[in-house]
Amino acid sequence: MAETPQGQGHETLSNLLQESRRFPPPADLAAHANATADTYTAAEADRLGFWEDQARRLTWGRPWDTVLEWNPPFAKWFTGGTLNAAVNCLDRHVDAGRGDRVAYYWEGEPGDTRTITYAQLKDQVCQASNALLELGVTKGDRVAIYMPMIPETVVAMLACTRIGAVHMVVFGGFSADALGTRIDDSEAKVVVTADGGYRRGKASSLKPAVDEAVASRPTVEHVLVVRRTGQDVDWTDGRDVWWHEVVDRQSTEHAAEAHDAEHPLYIMYTSGTTAKPKGILHTTGGYLTQVAYTHWAVFDLKPETDIFWTAADIGWVTGHSYIVYGPLCNGATSVMYEGTPDTPHKGRFWEIVEKYRVSIAYMAPTAIRTFMKWGEDIPAGFDMSSLRVLGSVGEPINPEAYMWYRKNIGGDRTPIVDTWWQTETGAIMVSPLPGVTEGKPGAAMRPVPGIVADVVDEEAKPVPNGGGGFIVVREPWPSMLRGIWGDPERYKDTYWSRFEGLYFPGDGAKRDEDGDIWLLGRVDDVMLVSGHNISTTEVESALVSHSKIAEAAVVGASDPVTGQGIVAFVILRGEAGDGGDGLVKELRDHVSASLGPIAKPRQVMVVPELPKTRSGKIMRRLLRDVAENRQLGDVTTLTDSSVMDVIAAKLPEAK
Ligand code: WT7
């Protein structure tokens, strides 16, 4: 198991705990906030009753008999109840007279746009449902979706859920091989794809990867192809069908069945760093309950007036929960953007915020640090006064990245919600509430109401305030994974064997003097230097707090004297030029001054890019290979593998 913690965990550094900047909720936001301080009290007094209240946000065919059946580690929520996810996302809004509300303002990378109302989306989903039925898909079948960020991706997902098929979205940037292994594991019957999508100003193809993946996979009976770019595609008669030929001629009527609350909704694969990807299974009632609640409470969503934008790909869980299911269950209006932040120019995100008057924006620290690198002049050129709440997800947000985000994007006005969760948790678990919680740069703060999470030491004992260890979840939660597809043993081993009776996500964490939670990254990223546990996150945050640094990645490389030595890779901010003479010394001294001499990096290398997974997480494993002069490990999940050559070429100058 890749997630085994290595160190003692509680002997950590204390710099993050010295972060003293505080941002109280803006008064007007607090006065009208969806979630108030009493919510915590109510949820603590009657946790299951609280989740039942949240489940009433949804429309049920039949109400549930039992709120929770818990046979550790297997949970069932709202058993006896029935509902249809697509009806909850669409029909009930249309039936309530909200059919003309915009569901998505979609912006293609080349600048083409589409505005889709709830009524239009419902019609398209009904047509696609009828098309899937015609292609032989029945309740319980798995459908792979390998698409660019276009509205048909949402339509395909909801059409599956409408007929009770289980969608399995594979990020469009993944290879034929990655798609193929996921099709194998899930035994998908149909693949929905497109000829291609637009990325970085070019039409990039998808269909050839599907052809390659499907050639040797007989479970796939049909490939349903959306025409997006118009590029040439190879065609297998009988197997391949055009979306516009099969879907567009269908009826816009489809009578949806209410499925069991525990009916499988989707599978999403997460790749462990080395092992075979895990098919994380989510089901219907509990998942929708928690995504709808957290979307409403954590972002303070006002569906009539807000314009909500999650700048992530639908191929990740962030997109599933906060582009599709949460916003649609809540009747929100969302922006959906196809492309990259620097096409055709580096202000594209802020241009979108200005154009659609986005009021809530949600993105990853990796994006924020990239914007820091590009410089603050770029966002300064746009009117972003519509923004009122900003969110962060995917990695710990370094305090300086938080400050940059707040100042340059949020106009020093907007609260930032740093939301900690995982593919496995399905929805946000630890986060400030923007009308209640004081913001602390870098802290995810508290479990959301109804969630019981804690920080424990090696022996599973809760750490005192000021202590560090591992984050765990004590009680089952509605949107928790129901298992790993086809592998219940691996589910138990991976998440439930480290600490008896506790869910172990694999992340390090601390509690500060107020009891608030700070996430410290994956436990396998902890370094052991002269007997001290030092988290990569802490050293990275210290580096990013230097005025010349936009982004940093830190690894522990084996060291004959100290066990591990700290090796840092840094990217300069746009304003810093080449950093100037003596930069390396300056940075080493800076870390030493902020964290103590024990954390002083042995080496610092200035690099133009860092190796990242396609979901934007830094691949420290590869940097460790470079730092230890080893042959590079598997680079297939990198966004751009040439980055490693550039970094390796830099190596001598660091000595
Ligand atoms: C891992 C889960 C959550 C959806 C996107 C990623 C890290 C996520 C935070 C945060 C610190 C975070 C954790 C977690 N992570 N959000 N706010 N602060 N770390 O989903 O690919 O399943 O990754 O992302 O390490 O375990 P994922």
* Residue 17: per-residue pLDDT: 54
C-alpha 339 – ligand 1 centre gap (Å): 22
In Å, what is the CA distance from 539 to each residue of 89, 469, 601?
Answer: 43, 17, 8
* Under-50 pLDDT residues of the chain: 1-12, 653-655
Q: Which of 290, 398, 422, 428 maximizes ligand 1 atoms within 8 Å of its Cβ, making it the mutation to test the pocket?
A: 422
Atom of ligand 1 nearest to the CA of 418: 17
Pick the CATH number of 530-650 from 3.40.50.1100, 2.60.40.10, 3.30.300.30, 3.30.460.80: 3.30.300.30
* Residue 3: per-residue pLDDT: 32
C-alpha 394 – ligand 1 centre gap (Å): 4
Cα–Cα distance between 321 and 144 in angstroms, integer? 18
**Which is nearest to 509 in space by CA: 9, 154, 142, 175?**
9
- Residue pair 480/508 in contact by the 8 Å Cβ criterion: no
Cβ of 34 less than 6 Å from ligand 1? no
Q: What share of the chain is helix, strand, coil (3-state, %, to 5)?
A: 35, 25, 45
CATH 3.40.50.12780 location in the chain: 19-65+281-484+498-526
Atom of ligand 1 nearest to the CA of 419: 17
| pTM for this predicted structure | 0.91
CATH 3.30.300.30 location in the chain: 530-650
124 is in an annotated binding site: no
199 is in an annotated binding site: yes
Question: What would the pLDDT profile of 591-638 be if each residue is shown by its tens digit?
Answer: 999 888 889 999 999 999 999 988 888 989 889 988 888 877 777 777
Cβ of 422 less than 6 Å from ligand 1? yes
Cβ of 481 less than 6 Å from ligand 1? no
Q: Which residues pair with 470 in a beta bridge?
A: 456, 508
| Cis preceding-peptide flag for 560 (omega within 30 of 0) | no
Atom of ligand 1 nearest to the CA of 537: 11
Cβ of 537 less than 6 Å from ligand 1? no
* Residue 196: per-residue pLDDT: 98
Cβ of 504 less than 6 Å from ligand 1? no
Phi, psi of 403, deg, nearest 5: -65, -40
Atom of ligand 1 nearest to the CA of 321: 4
- Residue pair 143/160 in contact by the 8 Å Cβ criterion: yes
* Residue 76: per-residue pLDDT: 98
Cβ of 405 less than 6 Å from ligand 1? no
Query: Under CATH, which number does the domain 19-65+281-484+498-526 receive?
Result: 3.40.50.12780
394 is in an annotated binding site: yes
Cβ of 505 less than 6 Å from ligand 1? yes
396 is in an annotated binding site: yes
522 is in an annotated binding site: yes
417 is in an annotated binding site: no
202 is in an annotated binding site: yes
Other CB atoms within 10 A of residue 434 CB: 27
* Residue 6: per-residue pLDDT: 38
169 is in an annotated binding site: no
By CB neighbour count within 10 A (0-12 exposed, 13-18 middle, 19+ buried), where does 642 fall? exposed
- Residue pair 605/651 in contact by the 8 Å Cβ criterion: yes
- Three-state secondary structure of 497-532: CCCCCCECCCEEEEECCCCCEEEEEEHHHEEEECCE
Cβ of 615 less than 6 Å from ligand 1? yes
475-511 residues labelled b (16+ CB within 10 A) or e (exposed) = bbbbbbbbbbbeeeebbeebbbebbeebbbbbbbbbb
The amino acid at residue 455 is V
492 is in an annotated binding site: no
- ipTM, two decimals: 0.99
Atom of ligand 1 nearest to the CA of 424: 22
**Which is nearest to 559 in space by CA: 593, 582, 530?**
530
What does DSSP say about strands 222-226 and 190-194: parallel, antiparallel, or unpaired? parallel
Cβ of 495 less than 6 Å from ligand 1? no
Q: Which of 395, 473, 498 maximizes ligand 1 atoms within 8 Å of its Cβ, making it the mutation to test the pocket?
A: 395
Cβ of 322 less than 6 Å from ligand 1? no
Nearest CA to ligand 1 atom 18: 396
437 is in an annotated binding site: no
Cβ of 287 less than 6 Å from ligand 1? no
Cβ of 507 less than 6 Å from ligand 1? yes
C-alpha 151 – ligand 1 centre gap (Å): 26
User: Rounded mean pLDDT of the chain?
Assistant: 93
Cβ of 317 less than 6 Å from ligand 1? yes
Nearest CA to ligand 1 atom 14: 422
* Residue 14: per-residue pLDDT: 52
- Residue pair 474/56 in contact by the 8 Å Cβ criterion: no
Question: What would the pLDDT profile of 160-199 be if each residue is shown by its tens digit?
Answer: 999 999 999 999 988 898 899 999 999 999 999 999 999 9
Cα–Cα distance between 583 and 594 in angstroms, integer? 16
Q: Which of 421, 477, 526, 615 maximizes ligand 1 atoms within 8 Å of its Cβ, making it the mutation to test the pocket?
A: 421
Give first-to-last CA distance, the chain, whole Å: 34
Cβ of 394 less than 6 Å from ligand 1? yes
C-alpha 273 – ligand 1 centre gap (Å): 14
Atom of ligand 1 nearest to the CA of 318: 4
468 is in an annotated binding site: no
Cβ of 420 less than 6 Å from ligand 1? yes
Cβ of 517 less than 6 Å from ligand 1? no
C-alpha 621 – ligand 1 centre gap (Å): 17
- Write down the architecture of domain 85-257 according to CATH: 3-Layer(aba) Sandwich (3.40)
222 is in an annotated binding site: no
Cβ of 393 less than 6 Å from ligand 1? yes
C-alpha 114 – ligand 1 centre gap (Å): 31
